[in-house]
Amino acid sequence: MTVVGELIAGRYEIDKLVGSGGMSNVFRAHDRLLERTVALKILHEQFTRDDDYVERFRREARAVAQLTHPNIVTVIDRGEQEGRQFIVFEYVEGQNLKELTAGGPLEIHDAIGVSLQVAHALAFAHARGLVHRDVKPQNVLVNEEGQAKVTDFGIARSLDVHGVTQTGTVLGTSDYIAPEQAQGRQVDPRTDIYSLGVVLYELLTGEVPFRGDNFVAVAMRHVNEPAPSVLERRPDCPLRLEFAVGRAMAKDPAERFESMDELGAELEACLAEVDGRGDGGATMIIPPQPRPRRRAWRRSYVS
């Protein structure tokens, strides 16, 4: 059991628990060697005797260590102490997207902007052969300056020589799971596109598109039911953005954006229109309804 004040690897002093998941706990810790605050992820003890879980944990460290990008949380170190596996990440001061939407949907500019940052991060990972497979608001941290950072590549898989991942295993979070992933079929970068479409839907409406009593019920709605309209819940959403969310959430991967870069380009165009920088004739803007409270971290996101 990890306790406050404990020293890990003779270097990382545990400060406080900041997050807990199915596989691991995340602590804020003080790096005595470099005198800085870090995030320390420690695999749950019950999994340390399972070689598959340990390998997934190690694989996360190896995968993310390859990804140096301003919108991806940086891996600093990895190790083992008394059988406990741990990974050390940069510490992001801020909130995750789920926490940011607890008070309601984001402003349209902010919803597009933060999703665009996530798209840039995932496009970078895809170009290096990694599909995240668990894109959700809880895995996107936003610092006090509004910079988004994708984290938790724990179920990421490297693309094999055929460009797809293994089949037969259902992983992910049901609220954001792509139909092919829910069915245990092959996944590829378009799987992350679907999940990011769901995230953007939630940022715009304040709700996930499908609800149910359990994992299977929600997953089957993703498989069988068309994506609900953003406009029905957010009448001031630009039509072009409504189409972008719908295309990202297409049931058939072939009908989605061909790549995360393509989705990113469309989000940039949507952001330009919202900011009045578009061509003025590409879409119709629905008359605005009362807008949600502006978040303090609003910034320009186009890179």
Region 63-86: mean pLDDT is: 86
Q: 10 Å Cβ neighbour count for 64?
A: 25
302: confidence class by pLDDT, cuts 50, 70, 90: very low
Q: Is the pLDDT of residue 194 over 50?
A: yes
Q: Which residue has the tokens 């993310």?
A: 64
pLDDT above 90 covers a percentage of the chain that reads: 48
Strand order in the sheet with 140-143: 94-96, 140-143, 148-150
- The residues annotated as belonging to the active site are 134
Region 154-171: mean pLDDT is: 45
pTM of the model: 0.82
Domain 7-90 has CATH 3.30.200.20: yes
Name residues whose C-beta falls within 8 Å of residue 192's C-beta, 6 or more positions apart in sequence. Answer: 122, 126, 131, 132, 133, 135, 260
Q: Is the pLDDT of residue 158 over 60?
A: no
Q: Is the pLDDT of residue 56 over 80?
A: no
Instruction: Rank 43-52, 75-84, 188-197 by mean pLDDT and report only the highest.
Output: 188-197
Q: Are 146 and 101 within 8 A, CB to CB?
A: no
pLDDT digits (tens, 9 = 90+) for 87-97: 899 999 889 99
| Mean pLDDT of all residues belonging to the chain | 83
Q: What are the domain boundaries of the chain? A: 7-90, 94-274
- Measured distance CA(202)–CA(97) in Å, rounded: 10
Q: Are 295 and 148 within 8 A, CB to CB?
A: no
Choice among 89-98, 127-136, 271-280 with the minimum mean pLDDT: 271-280
pLDDT above 70 covers a percentage of the chain that reads: 84
Q: Give the model's pLDDT for residue 88.
A: 92
Alpha-carbon distances of 155 from 124, 133, 139, 170, 179, rounded to whole Å: 17, 6, 12, 10, 17
Q: 10 Å Cβ neighbour count for 22?
A: 8
Q: Is the pLDDT of residue 278 over 70?
A: no
Choice among 2-6, 19-23, 170-174 with the minimum mean pLDDT: 170-174
Q: Give the model's pLDDT for residue 155.
A: 54
pLDDT digits (tens, 9 = 90+) for 288-298: 334 444 444 44
Candidates 147, 152, 146; CA nearest to 176 is 152
Q: Give the model's pLDDT for residue 50.
A: 77
267: confidence class by pLDDT, cuts 50, 70, 90: very high
Q: Give the model's pLDDT for residue 172.
A: 56
Region 123-139: mean pLDDT is: 91
Q: 10 Å Cβ neighbour count for 5?
A: 7
CATH of 94-274 given 3.40.605.10, 3.40.30.10, 1.10.3720.10, 1.10.510.10 = 1.10.510.10
The better pLDDT of the pair 63, 90 is held by 90
Q: Give the model's pLDDT for residue 184.
A: 87
